[in-house]
Structure 1
Amino acid sequence: MKLFDLGELLTLAAIWGASFLFMRLGAHEFGPVVMAALRVAGASLALLPLLAARQGLAELRREWRPLLFVGLLNSALPFVLFSFAALSITAGLSSILNATTPLWTAIVAWLWLSQRLSPLRMLGLALGFAGVLFLAWDKASFKPGGSGWALAACLLAALCYGIAANYIKRRMSHVGALTVATGSQLFAALMLAPPALLLWPAQPPSLQAWGGVALLALLCSAVAYILYFRLMLRIGATNTIAVTFLIPVFAVLWGYVFLGEIFNAQMALGCAIVLFGTALALGLIGAKKKKA
């Protein structure tokens, strides 16, 4: 991997790690649905002119049905779920649970696309979810004030990402990356607009909350998607997925620096188990190298 590509990978991880911080800044004032709606609406406004400049609007119109499905599972639902989780759990813990996305992706590919899993990869899946249980066992209270629903929301969001990734691979390999990125944000915005209008906060949100939403939309959605798909083209999917392992590092760092969140020994150990299991499940550890 070239030094420039490594720099972009680290930049992407830093941006997506910060998204959990920005959600914490605005979720309480906007509410999860409104925050997610503003995020995808802002990203759409930023990406549409770029797609138009590259003559991609015809493809967007032609592929609107699959893009609607991707918008639901890759943006609308997970953004609402992570914004909901931001109401009660730390940015660091949300990011660690988000790191289970490759595990869900592998399970969906196994069940839907009949992709074989080696014993080592199955061990990785088991370890990854064991790490999640270790993280959640003393926090998963579904009583009022508990974090159980927030933890479940993060895992459900990661599952949505896993389904969307496999759907794109199976049904949308012929569609341009920028079209997928723009279409997913646009259709997510259209789906979330009606409930967002109904749930609009009675009290005007603060400038800090608006700043968090703006950064989510422009930096963590529009810019991040462009970086992500550029890396996919240049260094391949396997190398790009390494961003999954870096996001919790930055999320924990930003949460500690800007929100004073604590990263304790249990979270550190649980994070290590989740990421090690994910590496096994992806075949990044123990994979046999082919001879040149």
Structure 2
Amino acid sequence: MDNNKKKWLYLVVLSLIWGSSYILIKKGLVGLGPIELGAVRIIFSTIFLFIIGFKSILAISKPQWVWVAASALTGTFLPVFLFAYAETEIDSSIASILNSLVPLFTIFIGFLVFKISFSRNQIVGVVIGLIGAIILIFQGANVNPNQNYFFAVLVVIAAICYAINANIIKSKLQEVSPMGIAVGNLTVMILPAVLILFLSGFVEPSVLEDEEVVTSLMYIAVLSVFGTGLAKILFNKLIHISNAVFSTSVTYLIPVVGIFWGILDGEKFTLIHLLASGIILLGVYIVNKNRK
């Protein structure tokens, strides 16, 4: 298969994997608490990536490990727990849409922290995207008065974390391989994750006698292997055979998959939700329109 066909295949597969992550988190929360879910997800992902790419971390120098640790904190550790807590109150489809704010925050933080320049169009795109997010959150609160949509702020914070991570990788870790960054991230996080799981009391043998817990663990195992491990590999390959602009197209498709799973699971999705989603994606499109 030539690279032109491969890149479209990778794009579709990535959209399906990442778009399905939010419903898997929701199902995982049936038998697990957000702390337990986050810790288990990190541990499962670490095991998988260690098996396929442990040698890649040998090339990371001591100075680079500081930035690998910063990347781990902002790119995986904090978002894993933030999304888990957020979905205890808000719908998985809303979480998937709000995560589309990542490219907008990437531009904003890149300028503020890393002094990366941006255009007037990108400022307009950021503002439009944020307006869409505000509409989405308020409409979600109106449609689901029994849910605490203050928790939607946690998804926004996670999106900011992802944006910080993107700028760290771009500015500080260009010489480290994508696989090295992924495995290095999890190397840094594995001990804190094990400690958190131990302190949560989840390691008690009686816990695994609960059928809901076992089922939730199966969902999180799928999420860890595919949503974290395999997706990282595919995304790195996508960038290699295409370019950054094409790769960011996955941002537009993830919410479509997330909304599909949410509706299938009985979540409410109105025309105003759809309008707000369109506004967010319009902002993302404007931001990425002339990026090289």
TM-score by length of structure 2 reads 0.90
- What is the identity percentage for the equivalent residue pairs of Structure 1 and Structure 2? 26
Give the equivalent residue in structure 1 for 2:98: 97
Give the equivalent residue in structure 2 for 1:280: 286
Does residue 40 of structure 2 align to residue 33 of structure 1? no
Q: Which amino acid aligns with 1:247?
A: I
Q: Which amino acid aligns with 2:156?
A: L
The question of whether the paired residues in 1 share the 8 Å contact of 2:98 and 2:155 is answered with: yes
* 1:167 aligned counterpart, secondary structure: helix
Task: Please give the alpha-carbon distance, in whole angstroms, between the structure 2 residues aligned to 1:119 and 1:236.
Answer: 23
Gaps of 5+ in 1: none
Equivalent of 2:227, from 220, 230, 251?
Answer: 220
Task: Please give the alpha-carbon distance, in whole angstroms, between the structure 1 residues aligned to 2:7 and 2:76.
Answer: 25
Q: Which aligned pairs between 1:136-151 and structure 2 lie closer than 5 A?
A: 136-139=137-140, 146-151=147-152
Give the equivalent residue in structure 1 for 2:47: 45
**Partner deviation per Cα, 1:245-267 (whole Å, 9 max, x = no partner):** 1100011112223x222321111
Give the equivalent residue in structure 2 for 1:14: 16
Give the equivalent residue in structure 2 for 1:236: 243
Task: Please give the alpha-carbon distance, in whole angstroms, between the structure 2 residues aligned to 1:48 and 1:81.
Answer: 24
Equivalent of 2:266, from 257, 260, 263?
Answer: 260
Q: Which amino acid aligns with 1:261?
A: E
The question of whether the paired residues in 2 share the 8 Å contact of 1:33 and 1:192 is answered with: no
* 2:176 aligned counterpart, secondary structure: coil
* 1:137 aligned counterpart, secondary structure: helix
Q: 1:167: Cα distance to partner?
A: 0.8
Aligned residues: 281
Task: Please give the alpha-carbon distance, in whole angstroms, between the structure 1 residues aligned to 2:192 and 2:253.
Answer: 31
* 1:42 aligned counterpart, secondary structure: helix
Task: Please give the alpha-carbon distance, in whole angstroms, between the structure 2 residues aligned to 1:136 and 1:111.
Answer: 26
Would the alpha carbon gap of residues 288 and 146 (structure 1) be closer, same or farther in structure 2, given more than 3 Å must change? closer
Task: Please give the alpha-carbon distance, in whole angstroms, between the structure 2 residues aligned to 1:113 and 1:288.
Answer: 17
Q: 1:102: Cα distance to partner?
A: 0.5
Q: 1:49: Cα distance to partner?
A: 2.4
Give the equivalent residue in structure 1 for 2:275: 269
Q: 1:288: Cα distance to partner?
A: 9.6
The question of whether the paired residues in 2 share the 8 Å contact of 1:86 and 1:94 is answered with: yes
Give the equivalent residue in structure 1 for 2:160: 159
Q: 1:148: Cα distance to partner?
A: 3.0
Task: Please give the alpha-carbon distance, in whole angstroms, between the structure 2 residues aligned to 1:267 and 1:159.
Answer: 22
Task: Please give the alpha-carbon distance, in whole angstroms, between the structure 1 residues aligned to 2:254 and 2:195.
Answer: 32
The question of whether the paired residues in 2 share the 8 Å contact of 1:40 and 1:186 is answered with: no
Q: Which of the pair is proportionally richer in helix?
A: 2
Give the equivalent residue in structure 2 for 1:211: 218
Q: 1:138: Cα distance to partner?
A: 4.4
* 2:29 aligned counterpart, secondary structure: helix
Would the alpha carbon gap of residues 236 and 30 (structure 1) be closer, same or farther in structure 2, given more than 3 Å must change? same
Q: 1:123: Cα distance to partner?
A: 0.9
RMSD of aligned alpha carbons: 2.1
**Further displaced range: 115-124 or 232-241:** 115-124
Q: 1:195: Cα distance to partner?
A: 2.1
Q: 1:65: Cα distance to partner?
A: 2.5
The question of whether the paired residues in 1 share the 8 Å contact of 2:56 and 2:183 is answered with: no
Give the equivalent residue in structure 2 for 1:245: 252
**Partner deviation per Cα, 1:41-79 (whole Å, 9 max, x = no partner):** 111111112223xx4231247443222211111001001
TM-score by length of structure 1 reads 0.90
Q: 1:29: Cα distance to partner?
A: 2.3
Q: 1:110: Cα distance to partner?
A: 1.2
* 2:234 aligned counterpart, secondary structure: helix
* 1:116 aligned counterpart, secondary structure: coil
